[in-house]
C-alpha cells in the first residue's frame, strides 16, 4: 500500500515536473535553478533520470536560445558540429530521445552504451546524487534494451541536426568481448556518424582490463576489420573512437596511445567515470560502489586529456568529458586538447539550460581571448606550456 502510494506520488511529481518543464519552453534558467531542479532532486536518482529522458523524448526541454554558431561550429572527420557540446553516453542509453536532445541545443548526441542482448543491469538503487559535491555515483551495469530494440529506433530517425554517436558495450555474461563489439559495428554502425568502443565503464566485471595493450590491440583490430567491411557495404567510413577511464597509470596511457596510433583509431573519449573517491567528498552516498562523475572528476579528466593529446601528438580527435558545467570548464578541456566536450552529471544540477549556458559562456571567453573559432583553442595549453 505504502509502496504503491509512494510510487503514485513519485509519478505524480514526475509528471508535474515534466509539465513544468513543458511550460518553460523558452528556457528560463532561474525557474530551473529555483523550482524545477530542487523538485527533481527530491526524486530517486534513477526515477529523475527516466523523467528527464521522457521529457527530452516528448520535446519538453526544447530551448530557443541557439548559440552563435559562427564561433562554435566545426567540421571534424567529415562531421559538421554546430557547437562543441554533446550529451555523453549513459543518458539516452536506448536511443529514445535523440531528436529531443538535438532540440535542447546539443551539437551532437551519443546514445548507449548498447549491449548485443538485452540485459537488466545491476539491482536498484544504482544511481546516487552527491548534492554537496555536484556529483553522481552510478552502478547501472549496462542496463540495455539490446541491439535489436535500439536498431528499430535508429532506423526510424529522420535526418538529424548534428552527428549521432553510438556507444557500444558488452553483455555481462558474454565470454567473447571482442565479438560483442564486432556485433555492435555490424548491427548499429550504419546508423552512426561515429562509433564508440566503451572499455571503461567500471560496473561490468573485467571490462576495464580490455584497455591493456595486448587486449586492446586484439579487440580494436577486430573492430576495425569489421568497420572496414561495413565501409564496403554502406560506402561511408564510420570513425571509431575508444572511451577510456580516468584511473590509468602512465604505462596504461602510453600503451593506449601506441595502439591508437598503430591502428589509426580516429579518436578517444576522455573520460568515463572514476573509481577513486577524492577526500573532499561530502555527500552521504560517497561510499556507494560505482563510478563517480561530475565536479570531482573535472581536473582528473582534463589532466588525462592533456596527457593523451601529448602522447598522440595531437593527431586524433579527443572528446572531453568529466565535470563540465560552465564555459570555463569547456574551455579548459579544449585547451588541454579536446575538440569537443560532452556533459552528463551537470544536467542533474542545472537541468537543460546547461547546454545553452555552456555555449554562451564559451563564446564570450573565446571573444575575450580573441579567438575567431573554437578550433583555434584546441591544444592551446600545450603551446603556452612550450613558450614558458
Ligand X SMILES: Cc1cc2nc3c(=O)[nH]c(=O)nc-3n(C[C@H](O)[C@H](O)[C@H](O)COP(=O)(O)O)c2cc1C
Residues that bind ligand X (CB under 6 A): 88-90, 93, 112-113, 127, 136, 138, 140, 167, 198, 201, 243, 272-273, 293-294, 297, 321-324, 343-346
Shortest distance (Å) from residue 280 CB to ligand X: 15
Q: Give whichever of 88 and 308 is closer to ligand X, judged by the CB atom.
A: 88
Q: Give whichever of 3 and 349 is closer to ligand X, judged by the CB atom.
A: 349
CA distances from 64 to 105, 126, 181, 353, 356 (A): 8, 34, 38, 10, 9
Shortest distance (Å) from residue 101 CB to ligand X: 13
Q: Give whichever of 18 and 90 is closer to ligand X, judged by the CB atom.
A: 90
Q: Give whichever of 109 and 136 is closer to ligand X, judged by the CB atom.
A: 136
Shortest distance (Å) from residue 141 CB to ligand X: 9
Q: Is 201 a catalytic residue?
A: yes
Give the whole-angstrom CA distance, residue 55 versus residue 92: 12
Q: Is 329 exposed, middle or buried (0-12, 13-18, 19+ CB in 10 A)?
A: buried
Nearest residue to 46 via CA among 123, 109, 145, 147:
123
CA distances from 220 to 16, 173, 177 (A): 46, 20, 11
Q: Give whichever of 22 and 146 is closer to ligand X, judged by the CB atom.
A: 146
Q: 32: which 3 cell numbers? A: 530551473
What contacts 385, CB < 8 A, 6 or more positions away? none
What contacts 79, CB < 8 A, 6 or more positions away? 108, 163, 193, 194
Shortest distance (Å) from residue 386 CB to ligand X: 29
User: Which residue has the closest beta carbon to ligand X?
Assistant: 90
Nearest residue to 293 via CA among 317, 277, 309:
277
Give the whole-angstrom CA distance, residue 283 versus residue 230: 46
Shortest distance (Å) from residue 111 CB to ligand X: 9
Q: 255: which 3 cell numbers? A: 600503451
- DSSP letter at 348 equals G
- DSSP letter at 88 equals P
Residue 103 CB neighbours (<10 A):
18
Shortest distance (Å) from residue 40 CB to ligand X: 14
The beta strand positions in the chain, using DSSP E, are 74-76, 79-81, 85-87, 108-114, 127-130, 135-138, 164-168, 194-198, 240-244, 267-270, 291-294, 317-321, 340-343
Q: 201, 271, 293, 356: which one is catalytic?
A: 201
Q: Give whichever of 56 and 136 is closer to ligand X, judged by the CB atom.
A: 136
Q: Which residues are catalytic?
A: 201
Amino acid at each position: 500500500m505504502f509502496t504503491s502510494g509512494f510510487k503514485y506520488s513519485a509519478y505524480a511529481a514526475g509528471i508535474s515536473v515534466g509539465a513544468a518543464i513543458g511550460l518553460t519552453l523558452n528556457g528560463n534558467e532561474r525557474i530551473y535553478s529555483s523550482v524545477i531542479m530542487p523538485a527533481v532532486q527530491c526524486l530517486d536518482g534513477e526515477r529523475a533520470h527516466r523523467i528527464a529522458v521522457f521529457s527530452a523524448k516528448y520535446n519538453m526541454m526544447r530551448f530557443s536560445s541557439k548559440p552563435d554558431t559562427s564561433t562554435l561550429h566545426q567540421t571534424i572527420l567529415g562531421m559538421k558540429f554546430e557547437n562543441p557540446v554533446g550529451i555523453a553516453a549513459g543518458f539516452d542509453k536506448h536511443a529514445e530521445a535523440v531528436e529531443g536532445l538535438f532540440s535542447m541545443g546539443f551539437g551532437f548526441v551519443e546514445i548507449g552504451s548498447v549491449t548485443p542482448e538485452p540485459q537488466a543491469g545491476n539491482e536498484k538503487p544504482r544511481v546516487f546524487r552527491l548534492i554537496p559535491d555536484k556529483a553522481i555515483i552510478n552502478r547501472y551495469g549496462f542496463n540495455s534494451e539490446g541491439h535489436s530494440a535500439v536498431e528499430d529506433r535508429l532506423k526510424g530517425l529522420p535526418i538529424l541536426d548534428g552527428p549521432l554517436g553510438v556507444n557500444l558495450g558488452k553483455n555481462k555474461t558474454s565470454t567473447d568481448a571482442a565479438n560483442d563489439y564486432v556485433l555492435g559495428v555490424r548491427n548499429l554502425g550504419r546508423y552512426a556518424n561515429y562509433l564508440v568502443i566503451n572499455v571503461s565503464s567500471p560496473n561490468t566485471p573485467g571490462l576495464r582490463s580490455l584497455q591493456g595493450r595486448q587486449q586492446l590491440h586484439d579487440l580494436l583490430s577486430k573492430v576495425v576489420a569489421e568497420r572496414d567491411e561495413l565501409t564496403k557495404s554502406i560506402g561511408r567510413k564510420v570513425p571509431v573512437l575508444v572511451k577510456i577511464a580516468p584511473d590509468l597509470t602512465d604505462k596504461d596511457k602510453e600503451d593506449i596511445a601506441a595502439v591508437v596510433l598503430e591502428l589509426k583509431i580516429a579518436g578517444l573519449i576522455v573520460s568515463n567515470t572514476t573509481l577513486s573517491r577524492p577526500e573532499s567528498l561530502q555527500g552521504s552516498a560517497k561510499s556507494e560502489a560505482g563510478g563517480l562523475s561530475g565536479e570531482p572528476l573535472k581536473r582528473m579528466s582534463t589532466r588525462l586529456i592533456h596527457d593523451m593529446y601529448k602522447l598522440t601528438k595531437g593527431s586524433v580527435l579527443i572528446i572531453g568529458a568529466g565535470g563540465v558545467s560552465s564555459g570555463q570548464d569547456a574551455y579548459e578541456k579544449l585547451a588541454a586538447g579536446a575538440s569537443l566536450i560532452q556533459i552528463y552529471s551537470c544536467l542533474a544540477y542545472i537541468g537543460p539550460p546547461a547546454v545553452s549556458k555552456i555555449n554562451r559562456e564559451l563564446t564570450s571567453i573565446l571573444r575575450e581571448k580573441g579567438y575567431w573559432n573554437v578550433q583555434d583553442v584546441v591544444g592551446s595549453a600545450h603551446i603556452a606550456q612550450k613558450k614558458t
